[in-house]
Amino acid sequence: MALTTVAELRSALGVGTLYADATLQSVCDAADEVLLPFVWSNTEFSIGHKNVGTVGTLYFDINVDEIYYIGQTINVTGAGSHFNGNKTVTSVNAREITVTTNHVADTPYHPFNPYATIKASTYLDPADVKAIQEASLMVCIDIWQSRQAPSSGGVTIDGYQPSPYRMGNTLLARVRGLLAPYLDPRSMVG
């Protein structure tokens, strides 16, 4: 579910029925893809995996023995068809967990490039936080306006110079105040 609905975006832009729902939905989806990786979630990244029969092992570069527990349901993405999907954790060690896979051949350890995403239950639903929803709407509007007038931006008071591209590094900076209490510290590197 998108943080900003097509109806909300349509109303904020005042475009009525001029544009198809699919066109506006793509903007809403893009805003989610920009914002959600920065919002705190119960997510870790697996650096590699191996498989012995139907037992798959996921490896991490951090200790995960206090993050995951036996019987916990996790959602795996970016790990290939045999690992992807909801899985139940069957064992936990310092830097690895095992799950049941539908793999038929044994495979030795090999890395994920890029890392696989492992999500466990989270206690924060961004769709229930008004500040995150407002930030999403603002990002949607910026994306839309950038589409309609790609070089649009503010003009400085003293030099009448156009500002940089709207979709630059200031896109999230403009909504960081709304997102601040919900930002994942791991997303703020650099």
Tokens (6 digits) for 67: 């993050």
Distances (CA, A) of 71 to 38, 57, 74, 76, 84: 28, 15, 9, 15, 17
Q: How many CA atoms lie within 13 A of 105 on its CB side?
A: 3
How do the domains of the chain map onto residue ranges? 6-39+124-188, 43-119
Architecture of domain 43-119: Beta Barrel (2.40)
Question: Which residue type is seen at 27?
Answer: V
Residues 6+ apart with CB under 8 A from 165: 146, 150, 151, 153
Tokens (6 digits) for 14: 């005042």
Would you give per-residue pLDDT tens digits along the chain (190 residues)? 689 999 999 999 999 999 999 999 999 999 999 999 899 888 999 999 999 988 999 999 999 999 999 999 999 999 988 889 999 999 999 999 999 988 778 999 999 999 999 999 888 889 999 999 999 999 999 999 888 775 655 555 555 555 556 677 778 888 999 999 999 888 766 4
Which run of H or of E encompasses 114? strand 107-119
